[in-house]
Amino acid sequence: MTRRSFAALAFAGAQADERRSAILRRMEQVMGPLPSGERPPLELRILDEERRQTDRRMLVSFVPEPGDRVPAYLFVPLGRRPPFAAAVCLHQTTAIGKSEPAGLGGKPNLHYARELAERGFVTIAPDYPNFGGYKFDPYAHGYASATMKGIWNHIRAVDLLQSLPEVDARRIGAIGHSLGGHNALFLAAFDERIRAVVSSCGFTSFRRYMGGDLNGWSHRGYMPRIAAEYGKDPARMPFEFRDVLEAIAPRRVFVNAPLRDANFDPAGVDEAASGLAHVTVRHPDAEHDFPPDVREEAYSFLARTLSGRS
């Protein structure tokens, strides 16, 4: 490589970093700032444990910040040689929260924390605020959105994975469906340790979401500033999902966008992903679901990408 070509690459890299930083600042205008400062010890507690043929499933809790403790299911493979790739597995909008990806209830097509563990991944499935066994008022603790509190908790879940001797700290991904589908993208945008992302039924462009009605994004479980400061108007939003995808580049993203998803219009997914080489989109003939064939492809995507052979 010549000195000139090296300088050109360095300049392109600096431009990409600048672009990503600008996108994150626009996301923070809606979500509130990402917490900063010293991170407290995780103080991992194992509350319950079950050994299965393929893995060890533990109900755990950890400290994301002083005065808070997040419950999660943690899976560690058995009968294989560590270190393993790992995945943060984020649940959809369901009262049972983390128990669904852990395979303890809910829809069988959404048991991805358990299924990835059976395939040799260490997985962690935390509760989102006020789902499952996790009660927390983010607004009473200075957050501008439940979304940002979720992002911070998920970043701390990455810290936890990296602290485990069974995990290869360079091989961590994120996967989620619906609520978990966009939370996986948000996590990857803010945390570059996430090397690959699977988003199932997780987004569409804001203008195509429910015909441009952003009420579903603006309540206290998400980002109230969408109503208070941006009038629920897609045209006034400081960021779009294309920006989120661009902030993740060049790390790879796999998107499941079913043709009959009534929540997230697949046409808006295609608009967001158009021309982005790091994004793969699949359109199964399904509703708001994660069908087995696409799910298997997503698992292969994670295994391949996190192995460095993508």
Domains and CATH numbers, the chain: 38-205+240-306 (3.40.50.1820)
Amino acid 37: pLDDT: 87
141-177 core/surface letters (b: 16 or more CB in 10 A; e: else): eebbbbbbbbbbbbbbbbbbbeebeebbeebbbbbbb
Amino acid 309: pLDDT: 57
pLDDT tens figures, 117-134: 999 999 999 999 999 999
Own/partner contacts of 219-228, CB < 8 Å, gap of 24 or more, are 220/139, 220/146, 221/129, 221/130, 221/146, 222/145, 222/146, 222/147, 223/30, 223/31, 223/144, 223/145, 223/146, 223/147, 224/144, 224/145, 225/29, 225/30, 225/31, 225/32, 225/144, 225/145, 226/30
pLDDT tens figures, 262-299: 999 999 999 999 999 999 999 999 999 999 999 999 99
Amino acid 268: pLDDT: 98
User: In the sheet where 70-77 sits, what is the strand order?
Assistant: 45-51, 55-62, 70-77, 122-126, 84-90, 167-177, 194-200, 252-256, 279-282
pLDDT tens figures, 194-225: 999 999 999 999 999 999 999 999 999 999 99
Q: Which residues contact 10 (CB under 8 A, 6 or more apart)?
A: none
| pLDDT < 50 regions, the chain | 6-11, 310
pTM of the predicted model, to two decimals? 0.95
Amino acid 251: pLDDT: 99
Amino acid 15: pLDDT: 78
